[in-house]
Amino acid sequence: MMPEATLEQERDGGYDAFISYSHAGDDLVAARLQNGLQRFAKPWWKRRAIRVFRDESSLAANPHLWSSITDALDASSWLVVLLSPDAAGSEWVNREVEYWLANRPADRIILVLTEGELAWSESGLESDAVPPALTGVFSGEPRWVDLRFARIEEQLDLKNPRFSAAVADVASALRGIPKEELESEEVRQHRRAVRTAWAAGLLIGVLGVVSVVFGVRAASEAERANANAADAEAQRELAVQARIGAEDAAAQAKRNERFALQKAAVAEAGRYLEIAATHPDPAVVVSLTLYAVALAGDEVAEIEPQVVPLLNTALPEYRAVGDFFDLGDGYAAISADGNTVFYVNQHDLHVSAIDTKTRAVKWRELLLRADNSPDPLGLFVVADGNRVAVPIQASGAVRVFVLATDDDGALEGDFVVEKCPEVGLFTFGGIFSADGRYLTMRVGCGEGAASNLLAIYEIASGTELAPRIEGVEAHFSSDSSVVLVLSDEGPAQLFTFPDLELLKSFPGEYSTGALSPTANLVALGASNGDVHIFDREGVPVHRIGVPSEIHSHQSPPISFSPDESLLAVATRRSDFVFDVDSGSQIAAFNNGETWLHSWTADGDELFIDPYTLWSVRDQIRTDPLRISLDDLLDTALSVLERGFLDGDCDEFRIEHCPLTADELRSMVEASRAISSN
């Protein structure tokens, strides 16, 4: 018999071959191939013909799985890859092949096709069963063995001639012995046993002449030894078959566990969709639907027929909180808690506080009688939420009325901003400091230099602070320590307040702008529709292209949400909301010409004067949805990550909620983990 050849001396604990395969399709074939290679042409005195590594038979319970795999690859002389469409899509098979090619030659790879097609052409391997790492690796046609019949054969052992021949093909390459010689190895082993038996017989005959009794006893012991050896071999074969059966049962149990968990998750998701389908509140419908999508995990496609119609029905109603078009001509703004709309009528000069849900009037206060054609210039909620101010132009002067926002709307202040008895006075905007102590107004008589000045007033006393600032619009930080001033002709400027020391100048022609609550960001809008976001040092952060012509010098046509995550921009026809971090558009409202933005304190709702209250958060679009289920799943999981269920069910408008947030996340994570395996 020819000696077995290898690429290098086998190291301690080394393997002749490493079998790489997909558990999804080739669990059984891989186990039977390993058994066949180890038993084919095995000398009687050896435990196995060669050492073969297969992960489920060779690995102990090990938390460092990949390092164990790479150690086995390093210790192997050959890589045997079982090819199939399952293997082509397996991350593990591809990683094992990549690691081998990074450390060992491609000519030490043997391909075994168990399913699919494989062909060689001038362009290389053409197959639906080859993992990406093998593409373009071979310069010539590689050696490969066709084992596709193995998936449908019931008898996969060396007694099956087709399987034995395929095993011989692989073993021949692994052991460096021609297939013909390897197949005849069993015959040579048998002849050697026969010669040994004849020699023993002759020896027994000679000894029988000397001692018949001793010869008979020796023959009996030899027969008993042969019987014991045969019995031991039969027991080893039964043990191998039992182990293979146990591995098959374990794999099936794992598949059953995965199926049961996925079905349970889908069933639980369906229960919440049934509740959503009959619920009258669109907000609850949206919450329950996202909850169900998160529960279904990667099996979300199974509930698609219920999810899409529910969201298409609910979202358009959910987004528009309400409109107040019946108020008539005037100005309006929303309270910080979103419960009250304040409105001044342009004709009868009454200020009203209106409940946003019931439309009931909480209180109504007359400012002036309609003498001398008084004209309100706006209505502004003081930053602290406790007062509302209305500037009115009448009799050649501008007066500012400050009212409490509580139930009675009591008048807290009334002072004159400026008198222009001979020439009509004009003013734009009216921006409060965050603490409600100061009010800035653009004032001036006529169209001279004074028209580009901002006056600052202390509300409590009505006293004007000196000097006036050159500009047309001012925006305060939340702590009133910084103010952004916009000008018709000069650059936008950032000042400390109230001492008005210049912090930063922003050169360029910007017609409108806004300061973030922390004063860390400045948004400046140009007339061409671009909005530039800078940090307070003047470093550009984003340039946002707004798809319409923006306003100029309104109060404010650009505004940050209270948490600075969103930026609202008013245009001639629509209002847009952008994500500050990415600069991407997340909402658009067909609102017409806008005069004022007013956010609720939580940033969830945006009041756009004239008279529409919009829900901003977690919206996709108002027209019928074309839903990508992958994107919807990502949306639902991101909602979970930021605390969608970190509280009572009632708080998040979810009824019949037996799961805690941790239980829900555990179910979703377990479902995704099992699906990925």
Q: Is the dihedral of CA 369, 370, 375, 381 positive or negative?
A: positive
Which H or E run contains 505? strand 502-506
d(CA 525, CA 503): 20
Q: How many residues does the chain have?
A: 677
The pLDDT of residue 573 is above 70:
no
- According to the model, what pLDDT value does residue 446 have? 54
Task: Give the residue, 32 or 198, on which the prediction is more confident.
Answer: 32
Of 362, 425, 423, nearest to 391 (Cα)? 425
Longest dimension (CA), the chain: 154
% residues pLDDT > 70 (the chain): 70
d(CA 560, CA 235): 79
- Give bridge partners of residue 113 from the DSSP assignment: 83, 146
d(CA 502, CA 508): 17
CB 338 within 8 A of CB 600: yes
pLDDT tens across 349-397, in order? 788 888 887 778 888 888 876 555 677 777 777 766 678 888 887 776 7
Task: Give the residue, 581 or 109, on which the prediction is more confident.
Answer: 109
CA angle 360, 366, 368 (to 5 degrees): 155
| Range in 46-55, 283-292, 596-605 with the lowest mean pLDDT | 283-292
| Range in 40-49, 356-365, 415-424 with the lowest mean pLDDT | 415-424
CB 295 within 8 A of CB 664: yes
pLDDT tens across 180-208, in order? 887 777 557 656 655 665 666 666 655 55
- Give bridge partners of residue 125 from the DSSP assignment: 120
CB 53 within 8 A of CB 17: yes
d(CA 80, CA 351): 84
- According to the model, what pLDDT value does residue 579 have? 85
> What is the pLDDT averaged over residues 530-534?
88
| Range in 75-84, 560-569, 632-641 with the lowest mean pLDDT | 632-641
Confidence of residue 641 (pLDDT cuts 50, 70, 90): very low
The pLDDT of residue 604 is above 60:
yes
Highest-scoring range by mean pLDDT, 7-11, 503-507, 653-657: 503-507
Confidence of residue 557 (pLDDT cuts 50, 70, 90): confident
The pLDDT of residue 572 is above 90:
no
Q: Which residues contact 135 (CB under 8 A, 6 or more apart)?
A: 124, 125
- According to the model, what pLDDT value does residue 373 have? 64
Q: What integer best gives the mean pLDDT of the chain?
A: 75
For residue 560 the two structure tokens come to 């940050």
| DSSP single-letter state for residue 278 | T
d(CA 68, CA 74): 10
CB 404 within 8 A of CB 455: no
Task: Give the residue, 31 or 248, on which the prediction is more confident.
Answer: 31
- According to the model, what pLDDT value does residue 401 have? 85
Q: In this structure, which long-range contacts are made by residues 389-397, counting pairs with CB atoms below 8 Å and at least 24 apart in sequence?
A: 389/430, 389/432, 389/439, 389/459, 390/331, 390/344, 390/351, 391/417, 391/427, 391/430, 391/441, 392/349, 392/367, 392/368, 393/425, 393/426, 393/427, 394/368, 396/420, 396/421, 396/422, 396/424, 396/425, 397/425
At 114, is the secondary structure helix, strand, or coil?
coil
- According to the model, what pLDDT value does residue 595 have? 67
The pLDDT of residue 9 is above 50:
no
pLDDT tens across 90-114, in order? 999 999 999 999 999 999 999 999 9
Q: Which residues contact 103 (CB under 8 A, 6 or more apart)?
A: 73, 74
pLDDT tens across 616-640, in order? 764 433 444 445 555 665 656 555 4
Confidence of residue 649 (pLDDT cuts 50, 70, 90): very low
> What is the pLDDT averaged over residues 230-242?
84
Which H or E run contains 188? helix 179-210
**Predicted TM-score (pTM) of this structure:** 0.45
Helices (H) and strands (E) counted in the chain, each on its own, are 12, 36
Of 108, 146, 84, 136, nearest to 6 (Cα)? 108
Assign 3-class secondary structure to 44-81.
CCCCCCCCEECHHHHCCCCCCHHHHHHHHHHCEEEEEE
d(CA 323, CA 513): 26
What pairing do the DSSP bridges indicate for beta strands 463-470 and 473-476? unpaired
What pairing do the DSSP bridges indicate for beta strands 109-113 and 76-83? parallel
Of 462, 466, 342, 314, nearest to 409 (Cα)? 342
The pLDDT of residue 576 is above 60:
yes
d(CA 597, CA 512): 13
Going from the C-alpha of 43 to that of each of 37, 40, 165, 189, 192, the distances in angstroms are: 13, 9, 18, 7, 11
- According to the model, what pLDDT value does residue 341 have? 86
Single-letter amino acid, residue 6: T
Confidence of residue 449 (pLDDT cuts 50, 70, 90): very low
Task: Give the residue, 234 or 284, on which the prediction is more confident.
Answer: 234
> What is the pLDDT averaged over residues 549-576?
73
| DSSP single-letter state for residue 26 | H
> What is the pLDDT averaged over residues 79-89?
94
- According to the model, what pLDDT value does residue 652 have? 38
Going from the C-alpha of 311 to that of each of 166, 292, 297, 314, 619, the distances in angstroms are: 56, 12, 18, 5, 11
pLDDT tens across 314-345, in order? 654 444 455 665 677 778 888 877 788 888 87
Task: Give the residue, 252 or 59, on which the prediction is more confident.
Answer: 252
CB 438 within 8 A of CB 480: yes
Q: What is the Cα Rg of the chain in Å?
A: 42
> What is the pLDDT averaged over residues 437-461?
71
% residues pLDDT > 90 (the chain): 14
At 462, is the secondary structure helix, strand, or coil?
coil
Task: Give the residue, 592 or 659, on which the prediction is more confident.
Answer: 592
CB 341 within 8 A of CB 393: no
Q: Which residues contact 336 (CB under 8 A, 6 or more apart)?
A: 381, 385, 600, 601
| Range in 138-152, 496-510, 571-585, 631-645 with the lowest mean pLDDT | 631-645
What pairing do the DSSP bridges indicate for beta strands 575-579 and 387-394? unpaired
At 473, is the secondary structure helix, strand, or coil?
strand
d(CA 78, CA 253): 32
Going from the C-alpha of 306 to that of each of 48, 302, 309, 548, 657, the distances in angstroms are: 58, 9, 6, 37, 19
Q: Which residues contact 257 (CB under 8 A, 6 or more apart)?
A: 674
Which H or E run contains 213? helix 212-277
d(CA 248, CA 282): 50
Confidence of residue 577 (pLDDT cuts 50, 70, 90): confident
Helix 23-39, helix 161-175: angle, nearest 10: 80
CB 530 within 8 A of CB 514: no
Going from the C-alpha of 18 to that of each of 384, 482, 487, 601, the distances in angstroms are: 72, 69, 75, 63
Task: Give the residue, 378 or 224, on which the prediction is more confident.
Answer: 224
pLDDT tens across 478-519, in order? 888 898 988 877 788 999 988 889 999 988 888 788 899 899
Of 148, 141, 75, nearest to 106 (Cα)? 141
